[in-house]
Structure 1
Amino acid sequence: MVLSRQEINVRRLLARCELMCKSKEDHLEKYLESLEDMLQGLRRQPDVSIESIKNYQKRVMNLKGALGITTSKYDEFTDPQAMREDLLGLRHRNTAQGPNLKDLDQAIRYHEDIQKNVTEEMLNFAKTLKEQSKLANKIIRKDTEVVANSTQLTEQNFSKLSVESAKLAEHSKRAWKCWMWLILAAVVIVFINMVLFMKVAKKTK
């Protein structure tokens, strides 16, 4: 079944009000008043099913209940006879007092633009966060490589130092042995000289 423009607007505004109720946006009560006016006009259209009107009215009442609103501008929907009576007696008045569909479309487009901007900002934020994460990971990888290279260089220097220390210890050991032999040779030479000196001294006497 093809929906009328007014019923399409009722559905759009009703869906928008339900989203606003979930996000607890301001001015929801004002939109509910407009929605009630539109629903009242929709009740006078013979091509709209009773079940659809009851469903719309139930959703409006749920929204008003969520806001703690207990009053209503219009009587609750009853039967088709009441609709026909309203259509015959009050069509002109309700048409004059009905909502401005142009303003309604502008309000809906305004909220859609806000949601679109919020979505774009979220996407840009996610993109920026992703780029920053990549940059941070790149910096961390560089720092890790520097630390690894420094550790490797330290190990190499330690190995070289150990080798040089071993060589120095071996050289010191050899030098100590050389000095010991020199001292021993000097003692032997002095001893021999003393013996010879004593013999020469005896012959002189």
Structure 2
Amino acid sequence: MIISEQKPRKEILEMLTDRKRIFIVGCAACATKCQTGGEDEVKEMKRELEKEGKKITGTIVLDTPCDERIVKKDLSSLPALKNSDSLLIMACGVGLQTIGNLIDRLLVPALNPLFAGTTERIGRYYEYCSLCGDCLLDGFGGICPLTRCAKGLLNGPCGGARDGKCEVNDEVDCIWALIYEKTKEPLKTYYELRDYKKILQPGKRVVR
């Protein structure tokens, strides 16, 4: 899941300075789970912008704004878009750019995407995966040191950990201590420098 936070209202208002008629788009997937761009947050944003004198031409919460098929079906034919000079997107950057491929309007981001993470509970999220293109989790007891070690070390700890806590952030467990505790045995593989050709940007995958 893409974990996100809302931009400060001041920043959003600055981006909308010269915009009078705004359509708001939310996300029923990741942003709803993060409570940053779901139905409630879209309604709240509408109220606050109206207090600032903005005309809200309409709102919609798309099932998945990152899916062009859904954007085409649910958004591109809405009459209210013709009366809008901008769209405020309460979704991640992937959702915004997907909408931008289909809608010829100024698009303004309302969220800051942070990382791909897991949800412990609402309001508590953790980064577990860097989308590196070469998953090695089988060698580390199902725990990713590339992402969860502050230094991204793949061949053991740095030596700076104290009492099982990370040298960089003592509020975080040393991930290598957790790996050793889970595997109960020495690591048998030495990992060479990573092949960054596997994660060329921008990413693309075509299977048919």
Common topology (TM > 0.5): no
Q: Calculate the TM-score normalised by the size of structure 2.
A: 0.25
Q: Which structure's residues are more often strand, by fraction?
A: 2
Larger Rg: 1
Structure in which a larger fraction of residues adopt helix:
1
Give the TM-score of the pair, scaled to structure 1. Answer: 0.26
